[in-house]
Structure 1
Amino acid sequence: TDSRVFQSCARPQYGKWISCLTTDSDWMLCGGGPSLSLWHLRSLSPTSIFPLTGCQRQTSFYQDMILAVGEGPSVAHCLLGGEVKAQIPCTPQSLNTLQLNTNSAEHRMLTVGGSSNHIDVFTNLSYRAFSLSF
């Protein structure tokens, strides 16, 4: 592929490294040193570059959106077209991990953790329900 495609995601101030990678069918989310971007695997080109600050550490596809966490105290809800729909506040000042339980519609929840002894639990993706402290 043309190196100009990769240049569009580059952020030289962060260097060249990947901290998160997620795939779903013909799609891949990739972030870290480069901006978080959605790639179409068949064409090997980015279709969306998300305007999130800092480096993203983990992402997940969920229904018609993307959930992302990284530097900063919030879970980003992104639309596939590249827009950031919401940034939901969290307890840790920086987030390293997110896990979404989709096995049960009745007990669906999102958990996130990072730079503190708290794990935030979301029973509704729009707000934090409570935090567990360890």
Structure 2
Amino acid sequence: MPGLERNLYTTITCQTISPDGDLYAASTESGDVSVGRIADILCSSGEADMFTFHGLDGQSVYSLTSTNDFLFAGGKGQVRAWRWEDLINDQNIQPAFIIPIGDPRVKVNWLDVDHGDVNFGGRDKLLAGCGDNNVYVLNLERLSVVDVLRGHTSYVHCVAAANSAGVSVLSASEDGTVKFWDTRKPGSDAVFTCTPHNDEVTRRPKLGKFVSTVACHGDWMVCGGGPVTSLWNLSTRIMSGSIPPVTGVVYAAKIVEDKIYTSGQNTDLCVSNYGGELLSTVKLNCSCVYSLAHTSKHNLITVAGSSPHIQFINTNNHTVVKSFSFQSVKS
């Protein structure tokens, strides 16, 4: 029964898909990390064929991201990296490297990879949004912090790499702001700050001013949390309008081509266009969604949250093509 109880109360906090669309990982608040090949997961007749291990020696994993070579996990005061091939092929859980970040007690709430401007070398950098109100920029060649983006007055919930109009990083915070940064100029202040909770269209004082999610695609950014989800143009710095849903806190958002996917404190995945028109809803099997991941190779959006269940949804027809349960490490 202990294993059953543990699975019933499992919350999946984060997911990632490798940029080539081949590999998938998810993690729970207890620190278990599960990895597998997407093709194998889709082909499995029952539960997904995945390998699960303790990611951070018993500590919680708060964030995941990846390159084609490495899987990264954020814990307290560190980012740990494994080679995908070691995990998938050999079930070797020895980390390739560990990068310390800030104070050992600070949570690394969100990770994203900035692939860089080709005009400025185009080297991958890791972005870490943390509980000490800062965003850390990590050089993956030096394996060290090379810049700290300071300006938020409360902890950072989410970060997103951007490549538009002199903006390379977006950060969303408990302080109710989304800040735009240009990391080509180390040590610089934010180039712009938007405050959705101050806009009469998006503010919802009863839910709070915090911004829990931010995502971008090309010249567009979507953000949400306590305020209603909103779409912004990165070049003009102007809000285009609000995006469904209009009830409940939104914890996760993705822009995929001409569609915007949002979810949070509801049982639906909302699919909208840039005009704010709700195109479709997908019924989910968890009451609160914390994470969305996407791969164009398989035309999938993956959904996870306050449940052991993970759903893979086709982005063409918005049907659930695979639903399976996270398998925790056996005690």
Give 1:119's aligned residue. Answer: 310
The answer to whether the 8 Å contact 1:89/1:128 transfers is no
Give 1:33's aligned residue. Answer: 226
Give 1:108's aligned residue. Answer: 299
**Aligned mates of 2:311, 2:215 — CA distance in 1:** 22
**Aligned mates of 2:323, 2:312 — CA distance in 1:** 6
Structure 1 residue matching 2:312: 3-state secondary structure: strand
**Residue type of the partner of 2:205?**
P
Give 1:93's aligned residue. Answer: 287
Does 1:76 find its partner at 2:270?
yes
**Residue type of the partner of 2:323?**
S
Does 1:130 find its partner at 2:328?
no
**Aligned mates of 2:218, 2:238 — CA distance in 1:** 15
**Aligned mates of 2:287, 2:208 — CA distance in 1:** 22
**Aligned mates of 1:121, 1:42 — CA distance in 2:** 33
Q: Which structure: larger Rg? A: 2
Give 1:67's aligned residue. Answer: 261
The answer to whether the 8 Å contact 2:244/2:262 transfers is no
**Aligned mates of 2:215, 2:273 — CA distance in 1:** 15
Give 1:14's aligned residue. Answer: 207
Q: How far apart are 1:114 and its partner, in Å?
A: 0.8
Q: Spell out structure 1 runs of 4+ moving beyond 4 A.
A: none
**Aligned mates of 2:244, 2:302 — CA distance in 1:** 23
- When the two chains are superposed, the root-mean-square deviation of aligned CA atoms in Å is 2.2
Give 2:63's aligned residue. Answer: none
**Residue type of the partner of 1:34?**
P
